[in-house]
Structure 1
Amino acid sequence: MPKTAMHPHEALIRRYFDACNAADYDALMSCFTPDAIHYFPPGLTDIPWRSADTISKKWLWCVENLGSQWTIEKVLVSHDSNEAVIEWTHWKRKARTAQRGDEWYVFDAATGLITEIRAYYAAPAVRDTAELPLVRDTHMGELVEFDYAGRGYHLNWNPQ
């Protein structure tokens, strides 16, 4: 069966995650409208992040200071709106923690760029006591008895 082309919204989300992982400010900026906003659940300081510049600089800080890397687990793109939702894992390698969650994306109709992200965490981040990758029995904010490995989820930060 031939592979279908990736939807432009999914392609942009993947480009955004690549830019986050590479800590590439210019590439991050190219993913957003100038007035983009990134919402988070309670717990972080200085939220929400307002503007493409702020969002980009905050992710650069996370990579530099936390050793952050992200993997995309699933992507769903709406068939009738400029929206998508993804499931991700955020690997904070320096702190030896990981967290799973979802993000809802809204895209600008004229440019196709990201104008809004709403993050939702599956559960609090958990700390590992062994060497990376994280020990599987810590459940890093995972659903109880969900077969992450069997469903093809990333079990460590490096997708290779």
Structure 2
Amino acid sequence: MLTARRAGSSVRPVTTSATDLETRVRAYMDACTSGDAAAVASHLTTDAVHYFPPDMYDGPWRGAVPIGEKWAEKVRTGRSAWTVDAIAVDAARRVAVCEWTHFKQAAGVLLRGTEWYEFDGEGLIAEIRAYYASPQDTALARLELGGFDYAGRGYPEAPRAAVGG
């Protein structure tokens, strides 16, 4: 079973099976809905990063404590709640994808999307990349996550040349 790091305690290795990683994502989403900032932070590495589409929530958010505080604020002010609708996990790569629904109850908005999760060796969430189901903004030439270093991580900047062309 996965456990969060605690201040002043030694870090002990934990298993990171597919079940463990799925459990972590579900527990993180439940913590977000609870509005408990410390509970949210307990599922994240201290230097975790949460990326969003441009101009969403003044992202990216950096650090377990700030991420927890920001989601707790969304629950307090917007009556936000989340459901986990589907999860796919690759335990060998320590990644997961979660399809979710975000209920922004105060605004009467239902937002659907997915998040890509990367975990550290202890099974804590180190990075979250949020993608929203919404129309393409035709005013933008690049539709990417704000603050995410695509080129630095080796993502393509142009299509591959056609084979045999």
Aligned length: 119
Which residues of 2 match residues 40-79 of structure 1 at below 5 A? 40-79=52-91
Q: Does 1:17 align with 2:29?
A: yes
Amino-acid identity (%): 47
Q: Structure 1 counterpart of 2:131, which letter?
A: Y
Distance 1:43 1:52, change over 3 A: same
Q: Does 1:27 align with 2:39?
A: yes
Shift in Å, 1:6: 6.7
Shift in Å, 1:43: 2.3
- 1:117 aligns with 128
- 2:155 aligns with none
- The gaps in structure 2 that reach 5 residues or longer are 1-16, 136-165
**Residues of 2 paired with 1:116 and 1:6: CA distance?**
17
Shift in Å, 1:100: 0.4
Q: Structure 2 counterpart of 1:112, which letter?
A: G
- 1:98 aligns with 110
Output the aligned Cα RMSD. 1.5
Q: Structure 2 counterpart of 1:117, which letter?
A: I
- 2:19 aligns with 7
Higher-RCO chain (CA-CA 8 Å, sequence separation at least 6): 2
1:26-48: CA deviation from partner (whole Å, max 9, x where unpaired)? 21111000000000001224210
**Residues of 2 paired with 1:77 and 1:62: CA distance?**
27
1:12-61: CA deviation from partner (whole Å, max 9, x where unpaired)? 11111111111112211110000000000012242100000111011011
Greater Rg over alpha carbons, structure: 2
1:91-149: CA deviation from partner (whole Å, max 9, x where unpaired)? 0000000110000000001x21000000000116xxxxxxxxxxxxxxxxxxxxxxxxx
TM-score w.r.t. length of structure 2: 0.69
**Residues of 2 paired with 1:22 and 1:79: CA distance?**
27
TM-score w.r.t. length of structure 1: 0.71
Structure 1: 4+ residue segments shifted above 6 A: none
